[in-house]
Amino acid sequence: LFLLFSTTWNTIPPVFFTYEGHRTMGTQKQQTRGLFITLEGVEGSGKSTQIRHLAEVLTQAGYRVLQTREPGGTATAEAIRHILLTAVSHEPVTPQAEALLILAARCQHVTHLIMPALRRGTLVLCDRFSDSTFAYQGFARGLDLQWLRAANEVATGGLTPDLTLVLDLPVSVGLARRRADRGQQNRLDRETERFHRKVRRGFLALAAEEPGRMTIVNANRPAQEVRDDLTEIVVGWLARPRRPPRRRS
């Protein structure tokens, strides 16, 4: 049970696999068997609480679930997360360095944790993924989106979530929640409200581009309502005809 609910690199299988996608620098679409669901949203949107609940519901329904997060999920990616979220005042991280670090973390995460799990037929639930890079480093930091998409393709080997839920709420509400939750804020939390508004607009624009994959969920409601809504969406989506992920025996 612990393994199911924690982001942990000791779940990495001892054998590191290879697959076509990486040999071709991400140009070949990766074949997976499990399903890949991501949760996205601005700071304070409640993703972490909601993803825990979803993992619980889906595990109880008989799915083999891996819950993980970005940046992070493997030892190397978690070390990169630490660098990213800890400000060093005398050496600001440039937007380009930030993007490259995030993509390096993603590459490790996809290679050593996500793809092996998907190949085993596991349902992977990930707190943030590529859409965060497009929203934060693209829309908010102003890096070129085409470049980001191409670099992200290299990092992921072409892996795209099957379903993405965007928890949406006004930035002022999210930031206030975050301040109340955590005494200390990380380097990105401390960005201006204007920055976070651009992030939110980014997520909404991305969702408008890909309505088939991305669903916006109103997170400016009591957690229980958001929880029920998310469960209904995911359960309904899983019930759609497709080859289901392998269930636990």
- Among the listed ranges 22-30, 133-141, 213-221, 224-232, the one in contact with ligand TMP (CB under 6 A) is 133-141
Whole-number Å distance between alpha carbons of 121 and 135: 29
Does 71 contact ligand TMP by CB under 6 A?
yes
Which of 128, 196, 198, 200 touches ligand TMP (CB under 6 A)? 128
- Selected from 36, 136, 139, 203, the binder of ligand TMP by CB under 6 A is 136
CB of 145 to ligand TMP, least distance (A): 13
Give the DSSP letter of residue 121. T
Find the farthest-apart pair of alpha carbons in the chain and give their distance in angstroms, rounded.
54
The CB-of-41 to ligand TMP minimum distance in angstroms stands at 8
Stretch 8-27 residues interacting with ligand TMP (CB under 6 A): none
Spatial separation of the C-alpha atoms in residues 237 and 212, rounded to whole Å:
11
Q: Is 63 in the site for ligand TMP (CB under 6 A)?
A: no
Residues 190-249 close enough to bind ligand TMP by CB under 6 A: none
Output the CA–CA distances (angstroms, integers) from residue 173 to 41, 62, 177, 194, 219, in the order listed.
13, 35, 6, 13, 10
| Chosen residue from 133, 163, 164, 203 binding ligand TMP by CB under 6 A | 133
Does the footprint of ligand TMP cover residue 108 (CB under 6 A)? no
What mask, x for binding ligand TMP by CB under 6 A, covers residues 157 to 196?
A: -------------------------------x--------
Q: Which stretch binds ligand TMP (CB under 6 A): 131-139, 155-163, 167-175, 212-220?
A: 131-139
12 burial level (CB within 10 Å; 0-12, 13-18, 19+):
middle
CA distance 26 to 110: 12
Question: Is 38 one of the binding residues for ligand TMP (CB under 6 A)?
Answer: no
Q: Which residue, 114, 104, 116, is CA-closest to 76?
A: 104
Task: Rank residues 67 and 132 by Cβ distance to ligand TMP and give the closer one.
Answer: 132
Sheet holding 36-41, edge to edge: 65-69, 123-127, 36-41, 163-168, 214-218
Nearest distance, CB of residue 112 and ligand TMP, angstroms: 17
Q: Helix (H, G, I), strand (E, B), or coil: what is residue 214?
A: strand
Q: Is the peptide bond before 71 cis (omega within 30 degrees of 0)?
A: yes
The residues binding ligand TMP (CB under 6 A) are: 43, 70-71, 102, 128, 132-133, 136-137, 188
